[in-house]
Structure 1
Amino acid sequence: MGSSASRTWGGSTLDARRGVRRRRLLEVGLDLLGGPEGASAVTVRSVCRHAKLTDRYFYESFADRDELLLAVYDEVAEQAQRALVEAVTTTPADTPDAVARAAVRAFLGLLTDDPRKGRVLLLAPMSDPLLSQHALRLQLAFGELIRVQLAAVASRPPQPAPLEQRLTASALIGALTQLFIRWLDGSLAVTPAELTDYCVRLLLTSVPLARPQTP
């Protein structure tokens, strides 16, 4: 006989129903975390209420509220990273302007297609210590992606020094993050096209900074 998880009730297995409930909880978590109140709106009670599930089903998928927060954040971060990697790997490496533009458009596309995701990635960590620490890992991953692109763009002699690449990539991540945060919260009144153009110029003009200085 099969396990209870694989048995079918009403045309659906227990595992399948658990998956559906988990998906519902994640969607509600995204709604709340990506909403105007951010992380403060996410509690076990509020999530269960919006998902129309009892707390029994919440704890079936997540140990606590923090685990749900991290799951929502990681899912959005993974989508952002996939979009960036796809953008830069499908654009010819010998066209630095096109590579930079593809990367910026991919990230802005994620923010504009679903503003909740932008708020989860950039705004929620500003008010929640757990997410703030967790977001550092994403910044490191994005920084490495930028470092690789700097190395490719600046591949002609003199070769950029590894330390200079890392420092420049870190500086760019900080600058780009602040730009996107201010754009998301409405304090930077520019169009997506204007923001894209500026970010592309910023990335391209930073390539000399990744080169070793000659006496």
Structure 2
Amino acid sequence: METTRRSWAGTALEERRRVRREALLTAGIQLLGAVDRAASNVRAVCRAAGLTERYFYESFGDRDTFVRAVYDEVGDRARDALVTAVAGASAESRADAAVRAFVELMVDEPAMGRVLLLAPLREPAIGTSGVELAPAFVTLVQQQLTMIPDPEKRHMVAVGVVGALTSLFMGYLDGTVTVPRETLVQHCVSLVEHAGRA
């Protein structure tokens, strides 16, 4: 009986830690992705998450580790959304499905978009993270460019498409591209589709 209680207590403790970590990551996304670049020091993150600093250091060694974890969380969500969207779409509608999935995640939830695309420009802890994440997105686009038989050309086109899409989404998030949401979606879909026929 005593062993069973300890086991359940351990499980509950791990679950509480997981919930606290998720609360901190959620707060981090909101703070790092804020328009006004709100303070994202440890104290501010803990205040936003409703937790003490003790619980911050339970999951993260320091602020830089935390910032990288926030970025990784958003990057994983973006990859998962794109993979799921493409897997569930017909060959003819994959570009549309992928772009819409990305828009839903990055534009409809702009804090996440700003973390993924803008935070690496101002956060030294993740300054190279965008470069490290880009190949995963290039691979996803490359898989849709089946009409280009030459693998080297297909790769170059995919790199160009990812670069163009990144610039468009960054512009939309920072306010330098001011078009209706659906105009952005249609333009991005057209960009991917035209690249596939290049």
Give RMSD over aligned pairs: 2.2
CA distance in 2, matches of 1:123, 1:5: 45
Q: How many angstroms does 1:37 deviate by?
A: 4.0
CA distance in 1, matches of 2:120, 2:88: 30
Q: Does structure 2 conserve the Cα–Cα contact (< 8 Å) formed by 1:30 and 1:72?
A: yes
1:47-196 alignment runs, 5 A limit: 47-93=45-91, 95=92, 98-151=93-146, 154=147, 160-196=149-185
Q: How many angstroms does 1:144 deviate by?
A: 0.5
Q: Deviations for 1:133-185, whole angstroms, at most 9, x for unmatched residues?
A: 1122221100001111102xx0xxxx521111111111111111000000111
Query: Who is 1:15 aligned against?
Result: 14
- 1:66 to 1:200, Cα distance in 2 relative to 1, 3 A: same
- 1:187 to 1:54, Cα distance in 2 relative to 1, 3 A: same
CA distance in 1, matches of 2:85, 2:126: 26
CA distance in 1, matches of 2:4, 2:39: 38
Q: How many angstroms does 1:53 deviate by?
A: 2.5
Q: Does structure 2 conserve the Cα–Cα contact (< 8 Å) formed by 1:5 and 1:15?
A: no
Q: Does structure 1 conserve the Cα–Cα contact (< 8 Å) formed by 2:145 and 2:154?
A: yes
Runs of at least 5 residues in structure 2 that lack an aligned partner in the other structure: none
Q: How many angstroms does 1:101 deviate by?
A: 0.9
CA distance in 2, matches of 1:70, 1:3: 37
Instruction: Give, as a single letter, the amino acid of the residue that structure 2 aligns with 1:53.
Output: L
1:204 aligns with 2:161: no
Q: Does structure 1 conserve the Cα–Cα contact (< 8 Å) formed by 2:107 and 2:173?
A: no
Q: Does structure 1 conserve the Cα–Cα contact (< 8 Å) formed by 2:95 and 2:189?
A: yes
Of all paired residues, the percent bearing the same amino acid is 44
Structure with higher Rg: it is 1
Q: Deviations for 1:105-131, whole angstroms, at most 9, x for unmatched residues?
A: 110011233211111111111212332
CA distance in 1, matches of 2:43, 2:166: 32
CA distance in 2, matches of 1:103, 1:91: 9
Query: Who is 2:39 aligned against?
Result: 41
Match of 1:149, SS state, is: coil
Q: Does structure 1 conserve the Cα–Cα contact (< 8 Å) formed by 2:25 and 2:70?
A: yes
Aligned length: 197
CA distance in 1, matches of 2:35, 2:3: 46
Q: Does structure 1 conserve the Cα–Cα contact (< 8 Å) formed by 2:31 and 2:40?
A: yes
Q: Deviations for 1:19-60, whole angstroms, at most 9, x for unmatched residues?
A: 22212211111111111244x722112212322322221111
Q: Does structure 2 conserve the Cα–Cα contact (< 8 Å) formed by 1:125 and 1:131?
A: yes
CA distance in 1, matches of 2:156, 2:57: 43
CA distance in 1, matches of 2:191, 2:26: 35
